[in-house]
A and B are shown apart, each in its own frame.
Chain A
């Protein structure tokens, strides 16, 4: 038949799935770009029905929708089953994203409270952008490591 032993077949399943997990990465700019768009749209939505409301507010929301659509419909080469996520990997992912929001809010209210708007929101958004640029690859690596021992059958 094939010449692979049952032991080798079991090991092969794990190796193949782990190899596949490591091949799917977000574009590095994607989370940071999303945070930047969110910041711009918040600044725009503060300007009640002025030009910023439509250009930055509505435009930013539309751009975020477009980014999500591109990721789901064009860039994603695989749609994993939910079984590939371990609880620890899922928690790490959520905490990583919440940390970006927490940093931005913390910076907004605690660090940049002396700045006038929209500089205050821009500065807080910049903190989230820098955080996401710096942590996207390490967070992905950690999430993959936390998922690696899991084999889906």
Chain B
């Protein structure tokens, strides 16, 4: 248990990292809806992940509308992969990722 990354091993941050692990980049509102948290909670947790060097927060515009995009850094992707490997080791079962998945 002690080898689990404490930055990732928290409910909301784990969900954020899970969405971003499957994406090259995701818009703030998409992550918020996928994780089902408020703007402020997502902002706070994303900032914590950014401070850890796991997430990049990119602000831009689409037309006149401001948009914020989140993505994993290479360090974040590696940390998440290591975290999942450690979970699998502890639990002793692989993720379904190993199979081509029909549910």
Contact = CB atoms under 8 A, between A and B. Distances in A.
Contacts of A23: 30, 33-34
Contacts of B102: 88, 145-146, 149
Interface string B76-101: 00001100110110110101110111
A75 to B, nearest CB: 9
Q: Is the interface of A mostly helix, strand, loop or mixed?
A: helix
B34 A20 contact: yes
Interface stretch (B11-19, B41-49, B51-59): B11-19
Interface residues on chain A, size class: 35 or more
Given A10-B87, A88-B102, A146-B102, A152 B97 contact: yes
A92 to B, nearest CB: 11
Given A6-B91, A23-B30, A77-B29, A12 B15 contact: yes
B24 A149 contact: no
Contact of A79 (B9, B10, B24): B24
Contacts of A115: none
A149 B27 CA distance: 24
